[in-house]
């Protein structure tokens, strides 16, 4: 990746690493995340996984796009992944630097269906500044039965049919040909391998938000409700927030796409850059709470809305400032936020990484776009019931990652390129290792007693999980790996160009 591409991709590439695929095993939970698990924790239960990236011959490898930052969502023999449309081969569809959602067979990588999402700039002009970096679809698909939910590259929340057009065109949305940008008369016939949109919700038209860079937040489902970050942000000149009172977190009816609720916290008035994190949920004292890290550096907890016909305002339960006070103010003077044109290691940061709920606590880092440079960060452990600090650590620099927690050990990389291992109860850091390259497009993943993590400089590391640092392997790949996941003894390694399935010792 060139420096110019790296700069352009930055802001929402960020989120691809934030999304976790999960194993799809916990179908009975009312809290649905990637693949059907009920948490954003980057930990899996797969066994017999490989000890490095490519000692074993890959089971299969497919080309995705020229930019691919979405983590695979694996569900019942299928893999769903977002990328850009550079390699789309559907007749009548041209590459526009837009997005592409792919559904492939888990066993073979064979394409089942695809949904191209061309760039859409009709009516999109300053102060808007998004979908310009060829990052494609960065949101990780959420699977619920026969429905797939995702935030597309054009600022639309989409509900799709698991089977694509193979079982017919289900409504109410029926205009997939125009959506895919197909204008040639000879190609204007829906094919079984085309995607099938059930409904869509346009964030710009419906909420008057100003999206910034890319839409990459992953959705959250609780019962029949979909929770979404709106990616409301600053303008094209990076000078101001055009819509400071626009909602940041919204709730839709999963069956219809109707707006059910929105926040009223006026987060845009305190915004640094944009809102890019993803909401999560956890059961606290027998009730679900929704946790959301915002672009003002504050973690919010909300109650899910009650059933009702009118659009509701989300009820805030608590808020917690993840920036230590001396990050924001020095000697009574606010500290200037870093930027692409004025990099500084000091000052406050927003929340970009996705929080993780674990044993009644919420773990979260603060960070910034990597083009702002490295700088001071903070890993916070918050009591999920009260919003009070349990512990924090400034040993972690700015980070865009979410935590991988297994057996009360937390693994997290920071942008500087350090992998840390903490005790979740006490906050004690057991070890740290320099990864020999910056780490901003991948979280760590822990499974089968191994910790997998990758860097921008194409290095793929495998550590032994535990309180003592032990390196198992180090492999250099052709392009930077994104966050990996594993199911049924197979490690799935996404990079910016490809998705590779590598079998472990049991295959």
pLDDT in tens, 99-114: 999 999 999 999 999 9
Domain assignment present for 5:
no
Position 177 in a domain: yes
- pTM for the model: 0.93
pLDDT tens profile 264-288 = 999 999 999 999 999 999 999 999 9
* Predicted pLDDT of residue 416: 95
The pLDDT of residue 32 is 57
**What's residue 309's pLDDT?**
83
Question: How confident is the model at residue 38, as a pLDDT?
Answer: 59
3-class secondary structure per residue, 79-104: EEEEEECCCCCCCCCCCCCCEEEEEE
Report yes or no on 246 lying in a domain.
yes
**CATH number of residue 95's parent domain:** 2.130.10.10
Residue 5: its pLDDT value, please? 39
Task: Evaluate whether residue 8 is within a structural domain.
Answer: no
The rounded distance, in Å, linking the Cα atoms of 126 and 302 is: 33
**How many residues comprise the chain?**
507
How many whole angstroms separate alpha carbon 132 and alpha carbon 119? 8
pLDDT confidence of residue 131:
83
Return the pLDDT at 68.
81
DSSP 345-414: S-S--B--SPPEEETTEEEEE-B--GGG------EEEEETTT--EEEEETTS-S-----EEETTEEEEE-
**Counting runs of H as helices and runs of E as strands, what totals does the chain give?**
4, 38
- How many domains does the chain contain in total? 1
Please spell the DSSP secondary structure of 263-289, one letter per residue: --S-GGGG-SSB-----EEEEETTEEE
Residue ranges in the chain modelled with pLDDT below 50: 1-30, 35
- Identify the pLDDT of residue 337: 94
State the residue for tokens 């994104």: 482
> Under a CB-based contact definition with an 8 Å cutoff, are residues 426 and 379 in contact?
no
Task: Return the H-helix or E-strand segment holding 75.
Answer: strand 73-75
Helices (H), 122-263: 176-179, 203-207
Has residue 206 been placed in a domain?
A: yes
18 within some domain: no
Letter string b/e over residues 184-214, b meaning 16 or more CB atoms within 10 A of that residue's CB: eeeeeebeeebbbbbbbbebbebbebbbbbb
List, in sequence order, every residue forming a beta bridge with 287; answer none if it has no partner.
284
Strands 212-213 and 129-130: parallel
Residue 17 lies in a domain: no
Examine residue 21 and state whether it is found in any structural domain, yes or no: no
Give me the domain span that covers residue 347. Answer: 26-503
User: Whole-angstrom Cα distance, residue 17 to residue 38?
Assistant: 18
């Amino acid at each position: 990746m060139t420096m110019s591409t790296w700069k352009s991709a930055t802001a929402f590439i960020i989120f691809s690493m934030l999304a976790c695929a999960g194993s799809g095993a916990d179908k009975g939970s009312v809290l649905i995340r990637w693949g059907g698990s009920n948490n954003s924790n980057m930990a899996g239960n797969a066994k017999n996984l490989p000890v490095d990236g490519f000692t074993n011959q890959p089971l299969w490898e497919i080309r995705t796009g020229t930019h691919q930052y979405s983590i695979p969502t694996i569900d019942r023999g299928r893999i769903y992944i977002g990328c850009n449309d550079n390699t789309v081969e559907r007749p009548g569809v041209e590459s526009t630097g837009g997005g592409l959602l792919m559904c492939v067979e888990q066993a073979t990588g064979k394409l089942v269906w695809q949904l191209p999402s061309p760039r859409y700039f009709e009516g999109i002009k300053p102060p808007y500044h998004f979908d310009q970096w060829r990052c494609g679809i960065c949101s990780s698909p959420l699977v619920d039965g026969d429905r797939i939910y995702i935030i597309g590259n054009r600022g639309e929340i989409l509900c799709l049919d698991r089977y694509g057009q193979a079982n017919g065109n289900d409504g109410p949305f029926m205009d997939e040909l125009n959506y895919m940008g197909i204008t040639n008369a000879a190609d204007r016939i829906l094919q079984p391998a085309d995607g099938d949109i059930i409904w869509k919700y346009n964030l710009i038209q419906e909420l008057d938000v100003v999206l910034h860079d890319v839409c990459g937040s992953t959705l959250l489902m609780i019962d029949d409700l979909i929770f979404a970050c709106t990616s409301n942000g600053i303008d094209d000149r990076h000078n101001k927030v055009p819509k400071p009172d626009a909602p940041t977190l919204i709730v839709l009816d999963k069956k219809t796409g109707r707006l059910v609720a929105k926040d009223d916290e006026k987060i845009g008035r305190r915004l640094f850059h944009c809102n890019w994190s993803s909401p999560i949920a956890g059961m606290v004292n027998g009730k679900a709470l929704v946790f959301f890290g915002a672009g003002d550096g504050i973690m919010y907890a909300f109650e899910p809305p009650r059933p009702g016909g009118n659009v509701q305002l989300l009820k805030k339960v608590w808020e917690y400032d993840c920036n230590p006070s001396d990050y924001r103010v020095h000697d009574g003077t606010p500290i200037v936020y870093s930027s692409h044109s004025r990099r500084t290691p000091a000052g406050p940061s927003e929340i970009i990484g996705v929080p993780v709920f674990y044993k009644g606590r919420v773990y979260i880092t603060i960070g910034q776009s990597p083009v702002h440079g490295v700088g001071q960060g903070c890993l916070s452990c918050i009591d999920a019931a009260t919003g009070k600090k349990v512990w924090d650590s400034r040993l972690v620099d700015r980070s865009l990652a979410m935590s991988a927690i297994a057996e009360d050990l937390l693994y997290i990389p920071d942008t500087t390129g350090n992998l840390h291992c903490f005790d979740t109860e006490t906050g004690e850091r057991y070890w740290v290792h320099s990864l020999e390259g910056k780490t901003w497009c991948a979280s760590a993943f822990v499974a089968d007693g191994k910790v997998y993590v990758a860097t921008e400089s194409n290095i793929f590391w495998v550590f032994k999980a535990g309180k003592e640092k032990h390196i198992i392997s180090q492999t250099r790949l052709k392009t930077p790996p994104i966050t990996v996941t594993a199911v049924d003894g197979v490690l799935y390694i996404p990079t910016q160009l490809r998705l590779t399935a590598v079998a472990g010792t049991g295959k």
